[in-house]
């Protein structure tokens, strides 16, 4: 008896509360004072060339005292249509209970380089009512920062090999991949193979924005280029060119065809008959030159110590 009386009291209290609050809530939801605006990515309006993990910011246009945010949900979509339908096919943060609306870090899967994304945010007010969605805004990635992003999202055509673990490289000091003047950049990596094992295969995967020629121990083994060719790496079998007893050199003559983004990405995979592998990936150990090196720079006996 006692229990049911208490329940009745709770129900009555809830009914009174609901009656009291409903008109206010209805007013708040329809008066349009809680617009979500000033959408920014990494503190910029609809930026281009984002080259590290993006952050999202927005503002609430409310001028009603005490109306704040209790939760948000960010969606990132690959198309404007998906974003307008609030389908986060790239990332959906789901509802996050938080008052944060500044520099909220993207936490989805690795983004593609040089790609336009669409995003929107839904906000819940302090009474936990959705105030709806922002308009759709955009950002575009650059070639993503080598410290935070690896090359694994690019496949090498027709193979299981990926650029997993490799880093985009271009400038000598590692600074940025945007705003690069048109022209050549020359890369070089020396490596040795394990002489105590028997080699079963040696492959090198390469891609570059925008074109490249690949040399192994001074011999040209391949090239590629053309619009968006950087999205698909090519794989070259270089077992014949490899020196099994000494130094080997992979040399890449990369060419950026217009002012803008530029980058090179490579991975060498030496497989041994015992099932083990040695891999060498583009990183800050690769030599880089902005001017054409003297003749012989693609050969293993070239002195690149300067
Ligand atoms: Ca380019």
Task: Give which of 94, 95, 136 is closest to 118, Cα–Cα.
Answer: 136
Grouping H, G, I as helix, E, B as strand and the rest as coil, residue 112 is coil
pLDDT computed for residue 69 by the predictor: 92
pLDDT computed for residue 15 by the predictor: 40
Distance 48 CA to ligand 1 centre (A): 14
Neighbours of 196 (CB within 10 A): 6
Cβ atoms 203, 160 nearer than 8 A:
no
pLDDT computed for residue 86 by the predictor: 97
pLDDT computed for residue 80 by the predictor: 96
pLDDT computed for residue 192 by the predictor: 95
Q: Using a CB cutoff of 8 Å and minimum separation of 24, what contacts does 19-23 make?
A: 21/127
The number of CA neighbours under 13 Å toward the Cβ of 23 is 3
Q: pLDDT digit string (tens) for 227-236? A: 777 877 889 9
pLDDT computed for residue 30 by the predictor: 38
Domain architecture of the chain: domains with CATH: 28-140 (2.60.40.10), 151-289 (2.60.120.260)
Query: What does each C-alpha distance from 205 to 202, 227, 244, 271, 289 come to in angstroms?
Result: 10, 19, 19, 14, 21
Distance 237 CA to ligand 1 centre (A): 26
pLDDT computed for residue 121 by the predictor: 97
Cβ burial, residue 50 (10 Å; 0-12/13-18/19+): buried
Retrieve residue 141's tokens: 């990635």
Neighbours of 120 (CB within 10 A): 23
What torsion, rounded to 10 degrees, do the Cα atoms 187, 189, 190, 194 define? -150
Distance 226 CA to ligand 1 centre (A): 10
Is the pTM value of this prediction over 0.85?
no
Distance 225 CA to ligand 1 centre (A): 11
Distance 211 CA to ligand 1 centre (A): 9
Distance 179 CA to ligand 1 centre (A): 9
Distance 142 CA to ligand 1 centre (A): 11
Distance 227 CA to ligand 1 centre (A): 9
Cβ atoms 36, 59 nearer than 8 A:
yes
CA distance 127 to 147: 41
Distance 210 CA to ligand 1 centre (A): 5
Cβ atoms 271, 236 nearer than 8 A:
no
CA distance 166 to 122: 37
Residues in the chain: 306
Distance 143 CA to ligand 1 centre (A): 10
Distance 223 CA to ligand 1 centre (A): 16
- 96 secondary structure, DSSP code: E
Distance 282 CA to ligand 1 centre (A): 18
Distance 250 CA to ligand 1 centre (A): 22
For 133, phi and psi rounded to 5 degrees? -110, 155
Q: pLDDT digit string (tens) for 150-169? A: 555 566 777 778 888 888 88
Residue with tokens 């074109």: 211
Distance 209 CA to ligand 1 centre (A): 5
Grouping H, G, I as helix, E, B as strand and the rest as coil, residue 36 is strand
The alpha-carbon radius of gyration of the chain (Å, integer) is 28
Distance 228 CA to ligand 1 centre (A): 9
Residue with tokens 């790239």: 90
CA angle 249, 251, 254 (to 5 degrees): 170
Largest CA distance in the chain: 99
Cβ burial, residue 24 (10 Å; 0-12/13-18/19+): exposed
CA distance 108 to 115: 15
Beta strands at 91-92 and 248-256: parallel, antiparallel or unpaired: unpaired
Distance 155 CA to ligand 1 centre (A): 19
Neighbours of 60 (CB within 10 A): 20
> Which stretches of the chain score pLDDT less than 50?
1-32, 147-149
């Amino acid at each position: 008896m006692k229990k049911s009386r208490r329940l009745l009291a709770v129900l009555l209290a809830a009914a009174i509360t609901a009656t009291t609050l409903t008109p206010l809530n209805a007013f708040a939801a329809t008066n349009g004072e809680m617009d979500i605006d000033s959408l920014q990515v990494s503190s910029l309006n609809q930026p281009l060339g984002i080259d590290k993990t993006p952050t999202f910011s927005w503002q609430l246009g409310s001028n009603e005292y005490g109306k704040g945010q209790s939760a948000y949900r960010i969606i990132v979509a690959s198309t404007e249509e998906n974003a307008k339908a609030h389908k986060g096919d790239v990332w959906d943060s789901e509802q996050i209970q938080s008052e944060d609306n500044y520099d909220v870090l993207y936490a989805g899967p690795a983004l593609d380089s040089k790609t336009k994304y669409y995003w929107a945010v839904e906000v819940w007010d302090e009474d936990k009512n959705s105030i709806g969605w922002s308009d759709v805004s955009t950002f575009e990635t650059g070639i993503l920062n080598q410290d935070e992003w690896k090359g694994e999202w690019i496949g090498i055509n027709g193979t299981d090999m990926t650029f997993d673990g490799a880093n985009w490289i271009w400038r000598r000091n590692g600074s940025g991949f945007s705003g690069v003047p048109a022209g050549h950049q020359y890369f070089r990596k020396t490596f040795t193979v394990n002489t105590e094992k028997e080699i079963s295969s040696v492959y090198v995967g390469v891609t570059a924005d925008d074109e490249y020629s690949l040399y192994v121990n001074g011999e040209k083994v391949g090239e590629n280029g053309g619009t968006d060719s950087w999205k698909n790496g090519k794989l070259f079998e270089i077992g014949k060119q490899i020196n099994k007893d000494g130094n080997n050199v992979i040399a890449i003559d990369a060419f950026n065809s217009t002012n803008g983004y530029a980058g090179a990405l490579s991975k060498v995979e030496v497989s041994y008959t015992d099932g083990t592998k040695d891999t060498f990936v583009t990183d800050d150990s690769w030599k880089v030159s902005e001017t054409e090196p003297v003749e012989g720079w693609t050969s293993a006996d070239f002195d690149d110590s300067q």
